[in-house]
């Protein structure tokens, strides 16, 4: 089926509303809904190996629509919508890379998808996506290198580098997923802090969690039900240490040492 004027008109409308400063998000959302239906009438995902000039034009239009849709989803903070648009976009980036001219947005979109997976702690899918990337691109392209480096920092436990990376995002669109990732990292760090300390000062907790604003720190502490000792600026974690995960309480150090010595004696007898 040839590219009809209605679909082209809808795309032009979408492109105009998205190109405005700021973009007209409600109008973009309405037009995207119409285009998703209209695109099904075209060669949206053709199966023929050799594409006609009309098919290529249809595919290019569809790819442009999906790229705007993915970016619109981020601006609207809609994770399921972003994931759906990216699932369709990858077909154009990988399956038709030899039939279509390269997209200027491809690496940015693929990098955003990596950061999305990382922010959701979907590491198996993250590594699968990295395997699809050309090695040279993944190591040198700024859009792809950023999320890949972040994953390495997380595996190393270099959380400070993760926080610093927030100031060096390759595009403003990365900030949304970076904020989600940093919240996840802070949650993990807070859980470790509760187990490592009986108490900690407000200022020290704020420094360790890399929270710049006092009000933001108070809000974060409230979400975790952290309370300060009366008349002090210390967060009190003593209740966390009263009972371990099994509900039996911590084992005394003396008993642990005694058990270790007994095991050593038995091993020596066996040898």
Residue 256 counted as domain residue: yes
Number of domains in the chain: 1
What are the pLDDT digits (tens) for 210-243? 998 889 998 988 888 888 777 678 888 777 665 5
Residue 217 counted as domain residue: yes
Residue numbers in the chain where pLDDT is lower than 70: 1-3, 42-54, 231, 240-256, 268-271
Distance of CA 25 to the CA centre of its chain: 22
Residue 207 counted as domain residue: yes
Is the pTM for the entire model greater than 0.85? no
Q: Which domain holds residue 265?
A: 197-270
Residue 2 counted as domain residue: no
What are residue 234's DSSP bridge partners?
Answer: 201
Residue 225 counted as domain residue: yes
What are the pLDDT digits (tens) for 129-146? 999 999 999 999 999 999
Kindly list the distances between the CA atom of residue 134 and the CA atoms of 15, 107, 129, in Å, as whole numbers in the listed order.
30, 11, 11
**Distance between CA 68 and CA 71 in Å, rounded?**
5
């Amino acid at each position: 089926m040839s590219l009809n004027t209605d679909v082209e008109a809808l795309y032009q409308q979408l492109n105009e509303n998205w190109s405005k400063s700021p973009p007209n998000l409600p109008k973009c959302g309405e037009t995207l809904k119409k285009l998703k239906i209209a695109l099904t009438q075209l060669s949206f995902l053709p199966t023929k190996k050799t594409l006609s000039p009309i098919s290529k034009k249809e595919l290019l239009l569809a790819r442009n629509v999906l790229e705007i849709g993915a970016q619109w989803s981020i601006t609207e903070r809609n994770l399921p919508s972003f994931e759906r648009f990216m699932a369709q976009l990858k077909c154009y980036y990988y399956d038709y890379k030899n039939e279509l001219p390269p997209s200027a947005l491809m690496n940015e979109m693929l990098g955003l998808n990596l950061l999305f997976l990382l922010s959701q702690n979907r590491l198996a899918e993250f590594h699968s996506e990295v395997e699809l990337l050309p090695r040279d691109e993944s190591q040198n392209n700024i859009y792809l290198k950023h999320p890949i480096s972040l994953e390495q920092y997380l595996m190393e436990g270099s959380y400070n580098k993760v926080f610093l990376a927030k100031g060096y995002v390759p595009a403003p669109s990365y900030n949304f997923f970076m904020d989600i990732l940093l919240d996840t990292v802070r949650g993990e760090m807070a859980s470790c802090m509760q187990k490592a300390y009986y108490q900690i000062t407000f200022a020290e907790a704020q420094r360790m969690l890399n929270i710049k604003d006092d009000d933001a720190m108070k809000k974060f502490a409230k979400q975790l039900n952290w309370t300060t000792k009366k008349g002090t600026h210390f967060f009190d974690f003593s209740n966390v240490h009263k009972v371990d995960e099994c509900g039996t309480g911590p084992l005394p150090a003396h008993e642990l040492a005694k058990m270790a010595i007994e095991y050593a004696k038995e091993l020596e007898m066996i040898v």
